[in-house]
Chain A
């Protein structure tokens, strides 16, 4: 056999191999195309979350992980509580209390440490994956790295809710409703209530200005330390709430979103209403009447003449439906003569 001349059988062998490779390639490509086409159908839909991410999420997911109390609020109100298999929280030394949820929230939503997924300082993505959820709802508190990890490494769809306005909260409700058509009725009524509240607040506000009623100056603060009242500046929810409730925040001229105002400056302003946030979890609280830290290091606190109103700080910091439902109470606090005290407990 000469080596120079090609073996007669090798030609056909080459052709066969090439044909096989081409067919395989076509098959793979075709399958993936088919798959991607198929993925839209039963069980999946594509949504755009608040960060603009296109997420391919399952419909009516049976196992959801909720990573923030504000999302839990929506999930609960839409009747989806029993689908929640995991929540982001930290169990403290006593083994019982969930740091990010207030006792009210814990009891109302029936939460227990057993469904806690460690999320401090970083979300434990492995623990999430072990629960085998088919959907994760997160806020921007969860880091990008963790979100990326969940989607790329574990292939779990993550929808990020990050409203920046009160209307945005309503938008989040409908976003969640899109993923859970089963809860459509609950969603519709919730949205109606929320929009109604917002609308009536806006109307109340414009009535005030047309009536020429005095708008009370308001200090909304959630902490005092180092001679400063920590407050909400322009562009924050706290500010919007005060505006919508018919008040004028003295922090509206502050150049930063989250800044402190000097105690003397507040004293000079003498706001009519001081809304100060209380928190069951605040380490400096002794009683939730008047936090001790106000007394201990704010001698000017006593010199403030306005009405001092304590309010659960989660109501003004967690961007969820409950925040919107707090509006009537805020209106009452700011205009006790004009507004009747809302019935029922504080949300």
Chain B
């Protein structure tokens, strides 16, 4: 958090293109996501015939109305059953979780960048990643209810992530604290939790093996139940967050101006912090800590739709969804049959792209 809190990291974006062009761009983004989902189902450790895959998707989506899911390609009904299990039971949940988690992280990152007026904010600013990892490690280190660990892990991680977020929320409710104070509270909590985590791992290094996916992100272990939970949370919370675009715009002018036009800066900040925390905690609970998506997506989007939060928030969500989905696809195909942690391609793909955006000369720039 080295940048001064009031100065933008990037030069102010020029006014965005006319609203119609903006809408067209957003429509294209949405179309890209919709197209990418079935295409991602084609990607995996083994390549299945595309028409079989699409057949399976159509069959499942239509509730069985479209017959012969595997077409003429599958050799046996048994193989078709396996293919269906793989595509519909394995790949699709992972793809959909990637979409919703990417959206959650991007939305949360954009919101926190606005609330704290700090362009370096990411969804884990308040210590959520350390909290989630700590919650998970509690479960694994002390071997609580070992029979149900896989089911309980997201619960513990979610609860763990909420702790620092809630602490900052309480801090924001107290005496009027500046954004700097809240951010530093999150940083301090993150440090405490990281130290606790290190202590637990020291006590039981075997848990470290299991925990390693937390630190880099893992989208393999998904199910339709998880898709439902994540999608529900992200859509609900995301919608509410996106409605606060105007308030966030006004908050950029400082607490004084916000109060003067009628925005309760404290309550609005608190509410947005809480919502971001919840949606990020849900994401982290199921996928571990995936970095970079939440930080970079809002900045990329600002380059194209301007810095009006009414646009930045929802479009960031869409971009984050596409970004994480593409990263997930990369993670599957780089080193088959091993799936590398998805946090690696998000950085390797995202960072250079971001650098390019930062430094490319635009017409009119000096």
Touch between chains A and B, by CB atoms below 8 Å: yes
Residues of A within 8 A of B (CB): 121, 225-228, 253-256, 259-265, 267-270, 283-286, 292-293, 296-297, 299-300, 303, 305
What CA separation (Å) do A293 and B150 show in the bound complex?
Answer: 7
Q: Please tell me the number of chain B residues within 8 Å of chain A, measured between CB atoms.
A: 36
Which B residue sits closest to A292, measured CB to CB?
B147
What CA separation (Å) do A304 and B81 show in the bound complex?
Answer: 11
| Interface membership of chain B positions 75-101, coded 1 if the CB is closer than 8 angstroms to chain A and 0 otherwise | 000100111011001110010000000
> Is B298 in the interface zone, CB < 8 Å from A?
no
Given A226-B210, A226-B213, A297-B221, check contact A265 B85 (CB 8 Å).
no
Which residues of the partner chain A approach B90 to less than 8 Å between Cβ atoms?
262-264, 267, 300
Partner of A225, one of B81, B202, B210, B336: B210
Which residues of the partner chain A approach B335 to less than 8 Å between Cβ atoms?
255
Which A residue sits closest to B218, measured CB to CB?
A226
Name the distance in Å between B288's Cβ and chain A's nearest Cβ: 8
Partner of B220, one of A226, A285, A305: A226
What CA separation (Å) do A285 and B143 show in the bound complex?
Answer: 11
Can you show 30 pairs from A to B with CB atoms below 8 A apart?
A225-B210, A227-B221, A228-B220, A228-B221, A254-B338, A259-B338, A260-B339, A262-B220, A262-B332, A262-B338, A263-B90, A264-B91, A267-B86, A267-B90, A268-B48, A286-B147, A292-B146, A292-B147, A293-B147, A293-B149, A296-B148, A296-B149, A296-B151, A297-B151, A297-B221, A299-B89, A300-B89, A300-B90, A303-B81, A305-B78
What CA separation (Å) do A228 and B338 show in the bound complex?
Answer: 9
Q: Are B89 and A265 in contact (CB under 8 A)?
A: no
Q: Are B86 and A264 in contact (CB under 8 A)?
A: yes
Q: Are B221 and A226 in contact (CB under 8 A)?
A: yes
* Interface residues in B180-200 (C-beta closer than 8 Å to A): none
Which B residue sits closest to A297, measured CB to CB?
B150
What CA separation (Å) do A69 and B91 show in the bound complex?
Answer: 41
Most buried by B among A226, A255, A256, A303: A226
Contacts A268-B86, A284-B147 aside, 17 further interface pairs with beta carbons under 8 A come to A226-B213, A226-B218, A227-B218, A228-B339, A255-B335, A259-B338, A262-B339, A264-B45, A264-B90, A265-B336, A268-B82, A285-B146, A293-B150, A296-B147, A296-B150, A297-B221, A303-B85
Which residues of the partner chain B approach A225 to less than 8 Å between Cβ atoms?
150, 210, 221
Most buried by A among B44, B46, B85, B223: B85
Name the distance in Å between B206's Cβ and chain A's nearest Cβ: 9
Given A225-B210, A297-B150, check contact A268 B338 (CB 8 Å).
no
Q: Are A262 and B218 in contact (CB under 8 A)?
A: no
Binding site secondary structure of chain B: helix
Which A residue sits closest to B86, measured CB to CB?
A264
Given A227-B218, A254-B338, check contact A268 B223 (CB 8 Å).
no
What CA separation (Å) do A269 and B45 show in the bound complex?
Answer: 10
Q: Are B82 and A267 in contact (CB under 8 A)?
A: yes
What CA separation (Å) do A178 and B337 show in the bound complex?
Answer: 45
Ordered nearest first, which 10 A-B pairs have the shortest CB separation? A227-B220, A227-B221, A265-B45, A297-B150, A264-B90, A265-B337, A283-B146, A283-B143, A264-B86, A268-B46
Name the distance in Å between A145's Cβ and chain B's nearest Cβ: 16
Which residues of the partner chain A approach B336 to less than 8 Å between Cβ atoms?
265
Which residues of the partner chain B approach A270 to less than 8 Å between Cβ atoms?
82
| Interface membership of chain B positions 208-239, coded 1 if the CB is closer than 8 angstroms to chain A and 0 otherwise | 00100100001011110000000000000000
Partner of A227, one of B86, B151, B222: B222
Name the distance in Å between A121's Cβ and chain B's nearest Cβ: 6
| Interface membership of chain B positions 112-147, coded 1 if the CB is closer than 8 angstroms to chain A and 0 otherwise | 000000000000000000000000000000010011
Which A residue sits closest to B205, measured CB to CB?
A121
Partner of B338, one of A121, A261, A303: A261
Given A121-B202, A265-B44, A265-B45, check contact A284 B81 (CB 8 Å).
no
Name the distance in Å between B366's Cβ and chain A's nearest Cβ: 48
What CA separation (Å) do A253 and B338 show in the bound complex?
Answer: 10
Name the distance in Å between B282's Cβ and chain A's nearest Cβ: 18
Partner of A300, one of B85, B205, B338: B85
Given A121-B205, A270-B82, A283-B143, check contact A264 B44 (CB 8 Å).
yes
What CA separation (Å) do A121 and B90 show in the bound complex?
Answer: 38
What CA separation (Å) do A308 and B339 show in the bound complex?
Answer: 24
Which B residue sits closest to A263, measured CB to CB?
B90
Name the distance in Å between A276's Cβ and chain B's nearest Cβ: 16
Partner of A253, one of B44, B332, B337: B337
What CA separation (Å) do A286 and B149 show in the bound complex?
Answer: 12
What CA separation (Å) do A316 and B147 show in the bound complex?
Answer: 24
Which residues of the partner chain A approach B218 to less than 8 Å between Cβ atoms?
226-227
Most buried by B among A228, A256, A269: A228
Which A residue sits closest to B212, measured CB to CB?
A226
Q: Are A261 and B223 in contact (CB under 8 A)?
A: no
Name the distance in Å between A324's Cβ and chain B's nearest Cβ: 27
Name the distance in Å between A200's Cβ and chain B's nearest Cβ: 33
Which A residue sits closest to B210, measured CB to CB?
A225
Which residues of the partner chain A approach B205 to less than 8 Å between Cβ atoms?
121
Which residues of the partner chain A approach B339 to less than 8 Å between Cβ atoms?
228, 260, 262
What CA separation (Å) do A282 and B42 show in the bound complex?
Answer: 36
Which residues of the partner chain B approach A256 to less than 8 Å between Cβ atoms?
338
Which residues of the partner chain A approach B221 to less than 8 Å between Cβ atoms?
225-228, 297
Name the distance in Å between A263's Cβ and chain B's nearest Cβ: 6
Which residues of the partner chain B approach A263 to less than 8 Å between Cβ atoms?
90, 220
What CA separation (Å) do A305 and B85 show in the bound complex?
Answer: 13
Name the distance in Å between B50's Cβ and chain A's nearest Cβ: 15
Name the distance in Å between A105's Cβ and chain B's nearest Cβ: 19
Name the distance in Å between B70's Cβ and chain A's nearest Cβ: 13
| Interface membership of chain B positions 287-326, coded 1 if the CB is closer than 8 angstroms to chain A and 0 otherwise | 0000000000000000000000000000000000000000
Name the distance in Å between B60's Cβ and chain A's nearest Cβ: 15
Which residues of the partner chain A approach B46 to less than 8 Å between Cβ atoms?
265, 268-269
Name the distance in Å between A294's Cβ and chain B's nearest Cβ: 10
Which residues of the partner chain B approach A228 to less than 8 Å between Cβ atoms?
220-221, 339
